[in-house]
Amino acid sequence: MNFQPTKLLYLEDTYCFEGEGKFLGWGEDQKGKFLVFDQTIFYPQGGGQPSDTGTIKFSNFEIPVHFVGFNKGIVQHYYKESFLVSSDLIGQAVGFQIDSHRRLQNAKTHTAGHLLGSIVEEITGLIPAKGYHFQDGPHVQFEGQLDEANEVNTLLAQVNTYLLTCIKERTQVETQYVEPLALSELRLPQNFQLPQDKPSRISKVEGFSPVPCGGTHIRNLSEYAEIKAHKISGRKDPKISYKVF
């Protein structure tokens, strides 16, 4: 079945945990069966950030969603095959509810990755290339060679002091839509490809350069007790692991 592109409501508000949509139909691929709506508050896995989970409320029953994916503009909400969905439900209004704790935890881990990337870039000149913002070992992968002058423990201490300063200063995080051309003018890692099927959007931690991003971000760094960089792996294209509290 061909679906219209899903309106991505999660881009508007990270803190929106409930919403409504219209059921358009279902499909199936190698990950299982999925539901499609005209719009969604569910974040689909991508950009190093895990998907939301939650519940879809039809008029007479609810379906739990355990994974959400993105495919050519369509957000696919995966559900257990034991739930029977029939075509008479198409067009029905549904309610969305996402796991708010998971959403906020993911947004915090993801936003911390941006901040860590910007701080390390400012101190060392390395370019943040890729983030892994899952809860089982978040890290940022950098491009470049770590200078001889940068002793690992000293650098970690320097980065952690800077992180703590930003948290104490209650630094703001902003996201906004921009023209696609504006994205191409940003300093980006090698081989970085701007997504063609998502709106052009940047995330900016106040005081640092903006980065193109379609993820969910927190509003203010005061939401952290601490962000701690705890490990640097390798000196060429190093990987820096961190924890969020």
Task: Please pick, from the candidates 63, 115, 213, 244, the single residue that binds Zn ion as defined by CB under 5 A.
Answer: 213
Between residues 49 and 76, which has the closer beta carbon with respect to Zn ion? 49
- CB contact at 8 A, 164 and 157: no
Q: E strand or H helix at 105, and its extent?
A: helix 100-124
Q: Reduce the DSSP state of residue 196 to 3 states and report it.
A: coil
Between residues 33 and 217, which has the closer beta carbon with respect to Zn ion? 217
Min dist CB 202 to Zn ion, Å, is: 9
Please state, in angstroms and rounded to a whole number, the distance separating the CA atoms of residues 72 and 107. 23
Count of chain residues binding Zn ion (CB under 5 A): 3
> In this structure, what token pair is assigned to residue 28?
């199936």
Segment contacting Zn ion by CB under 5 A, of 25-33, 86-94, 142-150, 209-217? 209-217
Among left, alpha and beta (phi > 0; psi -120 to 50; other), residue 170 is left
Burial class of residue 225 (count of CB atoms within 10 Å of its CB; 0-12, 13-18, 19+): exposed
Task: Please pick, from the candidates 40, 53, 118, 203, the single residue that binds Zn ion as defined by CB under 5 A.
Answer: 203
Min dist CB 121 to Zn ion, Å, is: 15
Q: Does 131 bind Zn ion (CB under 5 A)?
A: no
Segment contacting Zn ion by CB under 5 A, of 96-104, 176-184, 207-215, 220-228? 207-215
> In this structure, what token pair is assigned to residue 194?
């701007």
Min dist CB 155 to Zn ion, Å, is: 23
Q: Does 106 bind Zn ion (CB under 5 A)?
A: no
Between residues 14 and 150, which has the closer beta carbon with respect to Zn ion? 14
Segment contacting Zn ion by CB under 5 A, of 75-83, 152-160, 185-193, 201-209? 201-209
Q: Does 215 bind Zn ion (CB under 5 A)?
A: yes
Task: Tell me which residue has its CB nearest to Zn ion.
Answer: 213
Full strand arrangement of the beta sheet holding 74-79:
62-65, 54-57, 93-98, 18-29, 32-37, 74-79, 67-71
Q: Does 107 bind Zn ion (CB under 5 A)?
A: no
**In this structure, which amino acid lies at residue 232?**
I
Segment contacting Zn ion by CB under 5 A, of 19-27, 115-123, 206-214, 219-227? 206-214
Please state, in angstroms and rounded to a whole number, the distance separating the CA atoms of residues 100 and 28. 27
Min dist CB 26 to Zn ion, Å, is: 30
- CB contact at 8 A, 76 and 27: yes
Report residue 55: phi and psi, to 5°.
-135, 140
Min dist CB 235 to Zn ion, Å, is: 26
Q: Which residues bind Zn ion (CB under 5 A)?
A: 203, 213, 215
